[in-house]
């Protein structure tokens, strides 16, 4: 009782608590030894008469201070272990740890052993003790990892400041220390007998839910610490990757800029990576090694995307694909999994390479195919066109495409009057496939937003095979006629040739169903096939002509001058526009 009073009085002074707790723990073990000797030498009936049989209750309050002492000594030992850490302890022929991690784990082991020796029978006290010890070991592991991180940053990741940064044994050992300590945490449920403690608490309170909550709390402590340590380890690996990045970039210049046509020009980069990955593979713990590989690959891909030239001819990008294949093969041999290869960064690079190796005609098809995919509900409403379309098979493998423009509905007003003088231009695209087919247009309907055209058009002598080509489209562009200056672009719709139904020779386009298609205004988004067309316009006349023609559709979007209809307001509501 007097010892309890002393500890309550000096609980803020760690030295006092440590010394008194050690004394109390020695007394506890002596009392237990006396009780065990007495119990073994008297009858079972007399054991229950002994007041000393409840000796653990005498130390109920002191238990908290024992655990506090464990924490104080643990944190102090971690600090000292890192201060005197000079030697390397060989654990296996492949992995090395320094003395600090071995000492820290010895400290953790001593705490768990002492707790087992205390062997408190009261389920509530036992659960409290296991929870606090799990927490203090997790805190100790976090402290150790933070100190390791500080040491690495202070020593510049053991960079010897030579021209080339190489991963050293010492760096691997330091990273191994982190993984060594982290893996110990996974042994705590067995070492501290979580299942037994949880089972006792459930039985005592006759409530399985209490046991489940207790186990969940313990698991959460461990899981949170594991995630934090892995995150810090990943941060360190990222910093190491950044140091390697400088040399990777220099070697990458050889095959992206200096000698891209030479298949062996990638060998210098692979040679540099081989030196470092061998050190990592031989000296680093397996989980850390694979995390390092995971960090290196996206960095390599991002760097390649930055170094790769733009606007080159397709042959250049075919060669880049070969270099990328060589790098993939190397990393897979090094342990990278296929799902790790195909990450979002790599998919973006692969898409860029695929587009750049396309012919200009294929790029145009991809561009129109992408726009046709977007012909759903527009983000901003510019009205509809009512259309009918069909095709008839002719002789010699050709077809004739028929399009009837019936009317426009709720088109945007682009004149100062709030009205427009709309007309529609119909054309087949891409022009490389339909260069022989001239665009056609409706008449101009003056001063209206709901023009009635009722005009049919036909495009004969279209090869039958074109129907099945993705990206082959009929483009209907709506303009507002101006007597002075250029006509204003109102919007456009695209009809995929593959979506046009077939009719018989005896039928006309009037037999087809009416289709209402919403007008869109395309954006000049510099990505995908459009970006490649922009990049190659300096040497590709077809790309240059396409961009010059497309410019009027992309850059001159005059705002509507009419009062928005209810349908327009509805679309604005959907997109969050409160104007």
Residues 86 and 18 in one domain: no
* DSSP letter (8 states) at residue 451: -
Evaluate if residue 515 carries a pLDDT over 50.
yes
Buried-exposed string 431-464: b where 16+ CB fall within 10 A, e elsewhere: bbbbeebeebbbebbeeebebebebebebeebee
Evaluate if residue 40 carries a pLDDT over 90.
no
171 closest CA partner among 230, 243, 79: 243
Evaluate if residue 474 carries a pLDDT over 90.
yes
- List pLDDT tens digits, range 197-256: 999 999 999 999 999 999 999 999 999 999 999 999 998 899 899 989 999 999 999 999
Q: What is the pLDDT of residue 31?
A: 78
Q: Which domain holds residue 520?
A: 364-575
Residues 482 and 553 in one domain: yes
- Is-contact 267 251, C-beta < 8 A? no
Residues 218 and 167 in one domain: yes
Q: What is the pLDDT of residue 127?
A: 93
- Is 351 a member of any domain? no
Residues 244 and 288 in one domain: yes
How far apart (Å, rounded) are the C-alpha atoms in residues 23 and 28?
9
Residues 287 and 396 in one domain: no
Q: If 0-12 CB within 10 Å is exposed, 13-18 middle and 19+ buried, where does residue 562 land?
A: middle
Q: What is the pLDDT of residue 151?
A: 84
- Residue 396: CATH number of its domain: 2.60.40.150
Residue labelled with tokens 């990049």:
535
Banded pLDDT at 89 (limits 50, 70, 90): low
Q: What are phi and psi of 123, to 5 degrees?
A: -60, -40
* DSSP letter (8 states) at residue 487: P
- List pLDDT tens digits, range 483-512: 888 899 999 999 999 999 999 999 999 999
Residues 148 and 195 in one domain: yes
- Is 162 a member of any domain? yes
- Residue 404, strand partner residues: 388, 456
- List pLDDT tens digits, range 382-427: 999 999 999 999 988 999 999 999 999 999 999 999 999 999 999 9
Q: What is the pLDDT of residue 259?
A: 84
Least confident of 23-32, 104-113, 167-176, 256-265: 23-32
- Of 250, 280, 300, which one is at a domain's C-terminal end? 300
Strand locations in 293-439 (E): 384-393, 398-409, 422-429
Residues 43 and 93 in one domain: no
433 closest CA partner among 470, 396, 403: 470
Residues 521 and 384 in one domain: yes
Evaluate if residue 39 carries a pLDDT over 80.
no
Residues 42 and 182 in one domain: no
- Residue 245: CATH number of its domain: 1.10.357.50
Q: What is the pLDDT of residue 38?
A: 77
Residues 6 and 80 in one domain: no
Q: If 0-12 CB within 10 Å is exposed, 13-18 middle and 19+ buried, where does residue 285 land?
A: buried
Q: What is the pLDDT of residue 404?
A: 98
Banded pLDDT at 527 (limits 50, 70, 90): confident
- Is-contact 350 301, C-beta < 8 A? no
567 CB-near residues (< 8 Å, 6+ apart): 381, 410
Domain count, the chain: 3
- Is 184 a member of any domain? yes
What is the pTM for the complete model shown?
0.77
- Residue 480, strand partner residues: 422, 488
Cis peptide before 417 (omega within 30 of 0): no
- Is 318 a member of any domain? no
Residues 280 and 418 in one domain: no
Average pLDDT, stretch 174-200? 93
- Of 300, 325, 340, which one is at a domain's C-terminal end? 300
Residues 476 and 394 in one domain: yes
- List pLDDT tens digits, range 50-78: 656 676 677 777 777 778 888 888 998 99
Average pLDDT, stretch 322-339? 94
- Of 300, 324, 343, which one is at a domain's C-terminal end? 300
DSSP3 helix / strand / coil % (the chain, rounded to 5): 60, 15, 30
Evaluate if residue 16 carries a pLDDT over 70.
no
Give the H/E segment covering residue 290.
helix 286-307
């Amino acid at each position: 009782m007097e010892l309890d009073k002393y500890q309550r009085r000096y609980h803020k002074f760690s030295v006092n608590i440590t010394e008194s707790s050690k004394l109390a723990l020695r007394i506890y073990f002596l009392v237990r030894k006396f009780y065990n000797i007495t119990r073994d030498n008297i009858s079972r009936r007399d054991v229950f008469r002994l007041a000393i049989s409840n000796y653990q209750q005498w130390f109920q309050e002191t238990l908290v201070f024992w655990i506090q002492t464990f924490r104080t000594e643990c944190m102090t030992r971690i600090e000292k272990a890192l201060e005197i850490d000079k030697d390397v302890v060989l654990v296996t022929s492949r992995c090395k740890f320094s003395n600090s991690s071995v000492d820290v784990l010895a400290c953790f082991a001593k705490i768990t052993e002492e707790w087992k020796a205390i062997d408190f029978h009261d389920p509530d006290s036992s659960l409290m003790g296991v929870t606090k010890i799990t927490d203090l070991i997790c805190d100790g592991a976090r402290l150790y990892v933070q100190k390791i991180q500080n040491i690495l940053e202070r020593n510049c990741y053991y960079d010897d400041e030579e021209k080339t940064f190489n991963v050293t044994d010492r760096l691997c050992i330091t990273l191994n220390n982190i993984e060594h300590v982290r893996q110990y945490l996974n042994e705590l449920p067995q070492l501290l007998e979580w299942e037994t403690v949880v089972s006792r608490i459930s039985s005592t309170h006759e409530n399985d839910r209490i046991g489940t909550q207790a186990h969940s709390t313990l698991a959460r402590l461990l899981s949170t610490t594991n995630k934090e340590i892995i995150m810090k380890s990943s941060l360190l690996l990222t910093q190491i990757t950044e140091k390697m990045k400088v040399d990777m970039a220099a070697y990458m210049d050889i095959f992206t800029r200096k000698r891209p046509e030479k298949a062996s020009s990638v060998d210098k980069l692979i040679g540099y990576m081989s030196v470092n990955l061998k050190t990592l593979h031989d000296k680093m713990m397996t989980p850390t090694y694979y995390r390092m590989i995971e960090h290196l690959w996206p960095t390599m891909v991002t760097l390649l995307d930055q170094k790769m030239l733009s606007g080159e001819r397709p042959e250049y990008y075919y060669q880049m694909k070969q270099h990328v294949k060589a790098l993939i093969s190397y990393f897979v041999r090094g342990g990278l999994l296929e799902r790790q290869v195909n990450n979002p960064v790599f998919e973006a690079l692969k898409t860029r390479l695929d587009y750049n190796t396309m012919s200009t005609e294929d790029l145009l098809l991809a561009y129109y195919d992408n726009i046709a995919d977007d012909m759903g509900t527009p983000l901003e409403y510019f009205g509809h066109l009512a259309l009918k379309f069909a095709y008839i098979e002719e002789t010699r493998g050709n077809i004739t495409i028929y399009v009837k423009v019936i009317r426009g509905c709720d088109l945007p007003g682009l004149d100062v009057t709030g009205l427009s003088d709309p007309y529609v231009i119909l054309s087949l695209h891409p022009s490389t496939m339909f260069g022989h087919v001239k665009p056609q247009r409706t008449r101009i309907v003056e001063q209206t937003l709901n023009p009635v055209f009722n005009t049919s058009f036909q495009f004969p002598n279209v090869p039958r095979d074109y129907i099945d080509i993705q990206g082959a489209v009929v483009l209907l562009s709506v303009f507002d006629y101006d007597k002075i200056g250029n006509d204003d672009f109102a919007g456009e719709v695209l009809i995929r040739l593959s979506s046009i139904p077939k009719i018989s020779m005896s039928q006309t386009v009037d037999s087809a169903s009416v289709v209402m298609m919403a007008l869109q205004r395309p954006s000049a988004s510099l990505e995908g096939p459009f970006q490649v067309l922009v990049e190659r316009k300096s040497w590709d006349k077809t790309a240059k002509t396409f961009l010059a023609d497309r410019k009027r559709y992309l850059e001159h979007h005059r705002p509507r001058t009419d009062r928005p209809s209810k349908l327009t307001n509805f679309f604005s509501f959907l997109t969050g526009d409160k104007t």
